[in-house]
Amino acid sequence: MSNKKKFTTNKGIPVPNDQASITTGKGSNYTMLGDSHLTEKLAHFGRERIPERVVHAKGTGAYGYFEVTNDLSKYTRAKFLSEVGKKTEVFIRFSTVGGERGSADAKRDPRGTAMKYYTEEGNYDLVGNNTPIFFIRDAIKFPDFIHTQKRNPKNNLSDADMFWDFMSLTPESIHQATFLFTDRGTPQNYRHMDLFGSHSFMWYNEKNEYVWVKYHFKTAQGIQNLTNDEAIKMCGENPDHATEDLFNAIEEGNYPEWNVYVQIMTPEEAEKYEFDPFDVTKVWFHGDYPLIPLGKLVLNKNPENFFAEVEQVAFAPSNFVPGIGPSPDRLLQGRLFSYEDTQRHRLGPNHHQIPINRAKNAEVNTYQRDGPMTVTDNGGSGPNYYPNSFDGPEVDETVTPPTIELKAEINRHPRPVEDVDFFQTGELWRRVLSDEDKDHLVYNIVAHLGNAQERIQYRQCALFYKAEPEYGTRVAEGIGLDISKVKNLSEMTQEERVEATKK
C-alpha cells in the first residue's frame, strides 16, 4: 500500500479515475450527466473567483510578531502593550492601491500595510499605508478619488487627465501627491519602506485618561526605492517582484523587522496645535512631537496557502481593543464603516469565522447566530438573546471607553483649503528632500503630468508653485508651460483658478 493520501471528491468519497469522464463508449462519444465527479469538479471551478478588493487588490502577506520594547502602559490599557517583552502574533498584508489583482507590484502608488494583531482581548487591526498622510480628509471624497486612480470608463485605460483633474480640484491632496511622486512612491520592495498608521488614534488607560497617538514603523532594512525608470522596467520584467522578494526573504530566514514608535499628543495640546491635528493630510512635526519607542515588528513565516490566508484576510480600521479607539479624523470616521461593509459583500457576513480572521487568542462569545457559511458551533445550545437568565455571556462595563464631550453643530461642513494646506509641502521641498530627491520628483511628475491636458497642467503647477515657487517653476519648465501664467494662477483663489482653467 502506498503512503500517499487517498484522492477523494470534496465529500471525501474515493475517486477511482480522474483522467476520463464517464462516456457512452471508447473514442469520441457522449458524456454522462451522472458523472458527479466531473460535474462537481466543473461546478466548483466555475465558482473559484471571489470579488477582488475594490482597492488594494494586488498584495501579499506574512505572519510574524509584535514585541513591546518600551512600557507605555500608563497611556493605554491595551493588554498586548502592557509590559516589555510581551509578544503578540501578527498577520500583515502589503498591497498596492489602484491596480487589479494581477497588476504590477512596482507601479507608482502608495503601498498598503494592513496588520492584524491577534491579542488576548480580540483582534486589533491597524490598516495603514507606507505614507504618514493621505490625499483627502473627508470620506465622502474617497470613491471619486479612487475612480480617478483606476481606469477611464470609456476606454478602460489609465488616464492622466482624470488623475490630475481630481488632484488639482482637490488642493488638500498636494502633500500626499508630492510624497507619491518622490521615489518613495516606488519602493524597492515591501521590506525597504516605513509603515504608518497615518491617522491619529485615541489611547486610553484604566483611569480613562486619554491621549492622541500616531504610529510609525521604521524599517530596520533601511529605505530603498526604485527610480521611475527602474520601476517602469520592473513592471515589465517581473510584475510580482515585491511579492517574490518578501516570500524569498522569509523562506531564507532573512526576517524583515521594523522598529515601532508613537507620537503622543494630549487633548489640551490638540486644542491649541497650530493646525487641526486630526487632519490626515498633515504630519505632526517631529520637533514638536518626537518619536517615542514602543516595540518591534518581525515577519518570520510565509502563509501556506495564498487564497485561504492572504486573499481571505479581512482587516477593518473599526477593530479596536480596549485601550485604543478612533479620533475625530473625518477620513478615519468613514473608514470605520466601509471595510466590514465591503467584506460582507466580498467574503460574506460570517467572514470573521474564516480561520485567518478568527480571534485566535481570545474567546468569541456573541449572541449573533446563523447566516451563510456558519462553520463554528454557532453558539451551541447556549441562549441566543441578551439579556437572559441562562448564564449566557455577560458584558464587562470596565472596558467602557472615555466619554468625549461635544458641542455639536450638525450639518455638512465643507473644509475650505487654506494656506496652511500648502505649508507642509513647501517644508518637504525646502527642508527634507535632497537635491537628488528634488530632481527625481520633478522628473517623475513631468513624466506623468506631461500626459494631461494643458489647462489641467497649469492648474496643478499653480498648486506646486503655491507650495514653493521653485518647485512649481521647475515642474512647469519641465513640461514647457509659461511660468508667469503659473505664477498668476497660484495667486488666485481656488475658485478663480478653476474658472480660469475650465474647458
Measured distance CA(9)–CA(267) in Å, rounded: 60
Query: Which one, 344 or 448, has the nearer CB to ligand HEM?
Result: 344
Q: Return the SS3 of 23.
A: strand
The interface with ligand HEM within residues 402-441 (CB under 6 A) comprises none
Please check whether residue 365 is in contact with residue 393, taking contact to mean a CB–CB distance below 8 angstroms: yes
- Binding span for ligand HEM by CB under 6 A among 157-165, 295-303, 335-343, 363-371: 335-343
Between CA 500 and CA 382 the distance in angstroms is: 68
Burial of 319 (0-12, 13-18, 19+ CB in 10 A): buried
Instruction: Find, among 73, 421, 427, the residue nearest to 280 by Cα.
Output: 421
Q: Which stretch binds ligand HEM (CB under 6 A): 11-19, 106-114, 159-167, 441-449?
A: 106-114
Q: Measuring CA to CA, how many Å separate 149 from each of 51, 109, 129, 162, 269?
A: 19, 9, 16, 8, 36
Question: Smallest distance, Å, CB 105 to ligand HEM?
Answer: 14
Identity of the residue, 184 or 474, whose beta carbon is nearer to ligand HEM in the bound complex: 184
DSSP state of 429: I
The catalytic residue among 56, 216, 241, 440 is: 56
Distance of closest approach, residue 502 Cβ to ligand HEM, in angstroms: 28
Element (H, E) at 169: helix 160-169
Among positions 64, 98, 99, 128, the unique one binding ligand HEM when judged by CB under 6 A: 128
* 129 among known catalytic residues: yes
Q: State the Cα–Cα distance between residues 283 and 263, nearest whole angstrom.
A: 10
Q: Is 75 known as a binding-site position?
A: no
- Nearest residue to 444 (alpha-carbon basis) of 195, 220, 185, 65: 185
Judged by DSSP in three states, 96 sits in: strand
Cell of 36: 458527479
Q: Which is nearer to ligand HEM, 219 or 228 (CB)?
A: 219
Distance CA 243, CA 221 (A): 17
Range list of β-strands (E), 69-138: 87-96, 111-119, 122-129
Q: Residue for cell digits 487589479?
A: 100
Binding residue for ligand HEM (CB under 6 A) from 59, 64, 323, 379? 59
Catalytic residue among 3, 17, 129, 378: 129
300/302 Cα distance (integer angstroms): 7
Distance of CA 211 to CAs 83, 265, 268, 271, Å?
A: 19, 6, 9, 12
Q: Is 336 in the site for ligand HEM (CB under 6 A)?
A: no
Candidates 127, 174, 242, 283: give the one binding ligand HEM (CB under 6 A).
Answer: 127
Stretch touching ligand HEM by CB under 6 A, among 108-116, 237-245, 422-430, 452-460 = 108-116
Q: Burial code of 329-352, b = ≥16 C-beta within 10 A, e = fewer?
A: bbbbbbbeebbbebbeebbbbbbb
Rounded to 5 degrees, what angle do the CA atoms 145, 149, 152 make? Answer: 105
285-293, 337-345, 454-462, 485-493 -> range binding ligand HEM (CB under 6 A): 337-345
Regarding 139 and contact with ligand HEM (CB under 6 A), the answer is yes
Q: Using the rule CB under 6 A, is 335 a contact of ligand HEM?
A: yes
**Total of chain residues touching ligand HEM, rule CB under 6 A:** 28
Establish if 95 lies at the interface with ligand HEM (CB under 6 A). yes
Query: Which of the stretches 184-192, 312-320, 412-420, 436-444 binds ligand HEM when contact is defined by CB under 6 A?
Result: 312-320
Q: Residue from 122, 334, 383, 392 that binds ligand HEM (CB under 6 A)?
A: 334
In this structure, the number of other CB atoms found within 10 A of the CB of residue 84 comes to 13
**440 labelled catalytic:** no
Q: Rule CB under 6 A: which of 140-199 touch ligand HEM?
A: 142, 198
Which of 54, 373, 404, 420 lies at the binding interface for ligand HEM (CB under 6 A)? 54
Distance CA 67, CA 294 (A): 9
Q: Is residue 134 part of the contact set for ligand HEM (CB under 6 A)?
A: yes
306 binds ligand HEM (CB under 6 A): no
Which is nearer to ligand HEM, 328 or 334 (by Cβ)?
Answer: 334
Q: Smaller CB distance to ligand HEM: residue 95 or 457?
A: 95
Q: Is 348 a residue that touches ligand HEM (CB under 6 A)? A: no
Grid look-up 485561504 returns 308
Which of 81, 114, 211, 446: binder of ligand HEM (CB under 6 A)?
114
Q: Closer to ligand HEM by CB, 53 or 192: give it.
A: 53
Residue with Cβ nearer ligand HEM (175 or 497): 175
Task: Report helix angle 483-490 to 469-479, nearest 10.
Answer: 140
Residue 339 sits in the site that holds ligand HEM (CB under 6 A): yes
**Mutual angle of helices 160-169 and 142-149, in 10-degree steps:** 150
* Identified binder of ligand HEM from the candidate list 41, 87, 344, 346, rule CB under 6 A: 346
Dist. CA 215–CA 131, nearest whole Å? 11
Please report whether residue 56 would count as binding ligand HEM according to CB under 6 A: yes
Q: Closest CB to ligand HEM among 184 and 497?
A: 184
Interface region with ligand HEM, contact rule CB under 6 A, candidates 127-135, 363-371, 461-469, 482-490: 127-135
Q: Is 246 in the site for ligand HEM (CB under 6 A)?
A: no
**Rounded to the nearest whole angstrom, what is the least distance from the CB of residue 345 to ligand HEM in the complex?**
8
User: From the annotation, which residues make up the binding site?
Assistant: 339
Catalytic residue positions, numbered:
56, 129
Annotated binding site for heme: 339
Contact positions toward ligand HEM, by CB under 6 A? 53-56, 59, 93, 95, 112-114, 127-129, 134, 139, 142, 198, 313-315, 331, 334-335, 338-339, 342-343, 346
